[in-house]
Structure 1
Amino acid sequence: MSEWTFGVEEEFILVDADTGRLAAQAAAVRHGADASGSDDELQEELTRYQVEIASPVCTTAEQLGENLTRLRGRLAASARERNLHLLATGTAVLAEPWPPPLAGKDRYQVIADRFGGLIDTLCGCHVHVAIPDAEFGIKLSNHLRPWLPLLLALSANSPFSRGQDSGHASWRHVTWARWPSAGPPPFFESPAHYEASVSALLHVGAALDRKMVYWDIRLSEAQPTLEFRVCDVAATVEEAVLLGVLVRALAQAASHDLDTGVPAKPIPHEVLRAALWRAARDGLGGYCPDPESGALLPVSVVLRRARQRLRPFLLDNGELELVEELTEHLFTVGGGAHRQRQAMARRGEPMDVVDLLARQTTVSSLLDSPS
């Protein structure tokens, strides 16, 4: 491919600024941030506690960062006008009412009626990379499956749920994996195999429609892209940009492997699920399998090896220095889950975590983010 464009979707939680409790004001916040009422960059999510942004198609890390900063800022400003905080976290810190109030689409009520207790308030980051056609995207998916645990460990930003430490760095991923159409994608033998797998999910009712195929990597139904859905929503704009540029570089490296005849590693589905659980438990400060060897190694080692593998593509994109700076800084200050736990440990006060998240969500630089 001559130009590797990409974009990011991010989901956020709204809470009362005084109590930290979830606030069912998504529609008001979204409309307040969009005076025209027709902005596709600000989108509805499953519950009325959540809002979502979708960046335009981007070609550079700088462009992506500017758009995410702008969109996060608009929603945060609208939230502040209503005495609310916009939080970039995969799960709500404090206990929440159940079931959560649903947003306005009739489809959401149908989902709730069928899947009941699986409905939860969870926020992820979805990275889209442009592809020329579905067959190419399916081949990329096969090559990129082994990298899913590293992306999850890097993004893990949801240790708390219902007022308690879950014991996992990404409780969002553990909770989300309960959905019958979620989890890592199969290793596909062909486009026909992909279509047969989707048809099987629809046939047994595990998905209402193709939009409910929730694999961690999937073909997007709305855009000509391969969509990576494994990550928690990033605590800061720069961490979201880091995820975006790493996913794009991984896709470029996989494309190069396809061109040079390097085969994809057909990791068994159950092994990959186990690796994802380990990444969800440990986060950035723990261990995950190395995508090349399968050895269980510190995430910091796996990520540095990934940087080396991706070096020529990051150099071509002008993003190597950015990736090196951000990853080394994260090794120093810790990932999103670690920083949330640090905030809680100081006084044992959940509102300290809420306040940290509110500050981090709209800072222009991770280096400026209080920990």
Structure 2
Amino acid sequence: MRTFGIEEEFLLVDPATGMAAPVVGELLSRMDATGSAEAAVRLVHEFKQEQIEAVTGVHTELAGLARAIREGRAQADTLAREAGVRVAALGAAPLATESRTVPAARCEALQERFALTAVEQLTCGYHIHVGVDSPAEGVAVLDRIRNWLPVLAALGANSPFWRGVDTGYAGYRTQLWGRWPSTGPLDLLGSPEAYRALVGQLLRTGVPLDEAMLYFDARLSRSHPTVEIRVSDVCLRAGDAVLIAALARALVETAAAQWRAGIPPAPTPTATLRLAMWQASRSGLEANLLCPVANEPVPAAKALATLLDHVRDALRRHGDEERVEDLLTELVSRGTGAEQQRRTARGSGSVEAAVAEAVRLTHQD
């Protein structure tokens, strides 16, 4: 069984106003004081004081990962409630706020170097680590999953609002995140040596602060034997997070099998993948996506069916097929997180109501 684990970034919000609340330091101090730092899911700070991140352990079974996702959300919210705030799974801060950088040396260095891009950064992503047997397998996987990542981004689209307005995008976090100079899809690489050469070349430019700042859509982890997939907004509902994690693991398993069988990666230009990701960010599942095989516009339902067919054998090997089909049917029937946020805002006439509903759905089992 190929292993996987996840990282979910959450927004800390004032339940009365929906505004982001800069209290992560208080939360983590409280956690250390009570000894809950030894919990199965680790809670850590991110870049801004209005965020908290839940990091699971390593899992082989989807059911175990699903439990960890729910536990991470519950643990974070328990701490948040003690500080008078709540945890919300929102891909971007919906209301205008002057966010505060975590007082750590690296965070302060990022803000100093990247100026307004860093000042205005307040987004929450969802990162999935999938185990690989070697750097060679890892790079082979990176080469073979790149076409499929925009579909995962569309499934997880959960950031329609920014600074109090509807952006017109389902996943506006992708647009905000793209302001950093080291984001986006990778070119085809072919070998670990080519990957390391690219990393070295980028670091020698002096633009990225360090290797951790190479925010590729998918990358080799620096500290674990994993491929890290980084394209999705944090998911509004825990079940959607489970679905995307299962699909990500199946994509990695399928890519590794293709590599072992000598099947070459699709030679899609990186510029085309940027367009595919923009389209996923713009419309989520509500309009066309670029087909991961033909690179032509197709209805989102067809793109999803193509993805499911592509990874079906891997889902069966992991015992995830039925669960994934159920979760995917559920997501498509009610819409992405972005669609749910917009429905609430339209029905109530306020973005603040969408934040309050997001808090509820974040913790709905």
With normalisation by structure 1, the TM-score equals: 0.94
The corresponding residue for 1:66 is 67
The corresponding residue for 1:22 is 20
- Give the conservation status (yes or no) of the 8 Å contact 1:157–1:335: yes
- Give the conservation status (yes or no) of the 8 Å contact 2:253–2:314: yes
Q: SS at 2:311's partner residue?
A: helix
Q: Distance in 1 between matches of 2:329 and 2:216?
A: 30
Q: Distance in 2 between matches of 1:58 and 1:170?
A: 28
Letter in 1 for 2:299: P
Letter in 2 for 1:268: P
The corresponding residue for 1:167 is 168
Q: Which moved more, 1:317-326 or 1:152-161?
A: 317-326
The corresponding residue for 1:104 is 103
**Identical-pair percentage:** 35
With normalisation by structure 2, the TM-score equals: 0.96
The corresponding residue for 1:6 is 4
Q: Distance in 1 between matches of 2:316 and 2:20?
A: 42
By how many angstroms is 1:96 displaced? 1.0
The corresponding residue for 1:355 is 356
- Give the conservation status (yes or no) of the 8 Å contact 1:90–1:123: yes
Q: 1:74 to 1:32 in 2, by over 3 A?
A: farther
The corresponding residue for 1:220 is 221
Q: 1:311 to 1:37 in 2, by over 3 A?
A: closer
The corresponding residue for 2:244 is 243
The corresponding residue for 1:367 is none
The corresponding residue for 1:202 is 203
Cα deviation code 1:309-329 (max 9, x no counterpart): 222221221111111111111
Q: Distance in 1 between matches of 2:10 and 2:234?
A: 7
Q: Distance in 2 between matches of 1:170 and 1:121?
A: 14
Gaps of 5+ in 1: 365-371
Are 1:193 and 2:177 counterparts? Answer: no
Q: Distance in 1 between matches of 2:337 and 2:207?
A: 32
- Give the conservation status (yes or no) of the 8 Å contact 2:125–2:230: yes
> Map of 1:43-192 to 2, 5 A cutoff?
43-97=44-98, 100-119=99-118, 120-192=121-193
Q: Which moved more, 1:334-343 or 1:289-298?
A: 289-298
Q: Distance in 1 between matches of 2:31 and 2:88?
A: 16
- Give the conservation status (yes or no) of the 8 Å contact 1:285–1:300: no
By how many angstroms is 1:357 displaced? 0.7
Q: Distance in 1 between matches of 2:224 and 2:45?
A: 18
Letter in 2 for 1:143: R
- Give the conservation status (yes or no) of the 8 Å contact 1:33–1:77: no
Q: SS at 2:52's partner residue?
A: strand
Cα deviation code 1:195-243 (max 9, x no counterpart): 2211122112221111111001001112111000111001111111111
Q: Distance in 2 between matches of 1:300 and 1:83?
A: 41
Q: Which moved more, 1:262-271 or 1:303-312?
A: 303-312
The corresponding residue for 2:304 is 303
Q: Which moved more, 1:319-328 or 1:287-296?
A: 287-296
Q: Which moved more, 1:187-196 or 1:261-270?
A: 187-196
- Give the conservation status (yes or no) of the 8 Å contact 1:156–1:280: yes
Count of aligned positions: 360
- Give the conservation status (yes or no) of the 8 Å contact 1:33–1:74: no
By how many angstroms is 1:308 displaced? 2.1
Q: Which moved more, 1:252-261 or 1:304-313?
A: 304-313
Letter in 2 for 1:82: A
By how many angstroms is 1:33 displaced? 4.3
Cα deviation code 1:126-172 (max 9, x no counterpart): 00001122121111100000001101101110000000111111110
Cα deviation code 1:257-282 (max 9, x no counterpart): 11222110121111111110011001
Cα deviation code 1:164-205 (max 9, x no counterpart): 111111110111011111111221133222122111221122
Query: CA RMSD for the aligned pairs?
Result: 1.3
Q: Distance in 2 between matches of 1:217 and 1:165?
A: 28
The corresponding residue for 2:317 is 316
Letter in 2 for 1:23: A
- Give the conservation status (yes or no) of the 8 Å contact 2:31–2:37: no
Q: Which moved more, 1:242-251 or 1:306-315?
A: 306-315
The corresponding residue for 2:289 is 288
- Give the conservation status (yes or no) of the 8 Å contact 2:148–2:307: no
The corresponding residue for 1:32 is 30
The corresponding residue for 1:368 is none
